[in-house]
Amino acid sequence: MIAMDRYLRVSLDPDGRILLPANLAHHVHAIGHDAVRVIVRGGELQLWSEIAWQAKRSSRLRAFGDRLLRVEGSR
């Protein structure tokens, strides 16, 4: 029930695209950019700015590379 108090009604344009309210678009840095990332993870729908997504992706790739090097080094 906690999730029920946190919702946002959005509209679709004639092409079926989601129209973000200005405050949400500003929060995910969508103003002045072409897109945001829509992620479904653990039953949640998440909106990520492209900047935040790329930073997180780079961090995950570095961590994966570090783990791979440790595995290769232990052989």
CA dihedral 59, 49, 5, 10 (to 10 degrees): -150
Q: What is the pLDDT of residues 45-75, one digit of tens each?
A: 888 888 888 899 999 999 999 888 888 888 7
Q: What is the pLDDT of residues 3-26, one digit of tens each?
A: 545 677 888 899 988 888 888 888
The pTM (predicted TM-score) of the whole model is 0.58
Give the CB-side neighbour count of residue 7, counting CA atoms within 13 A: 7
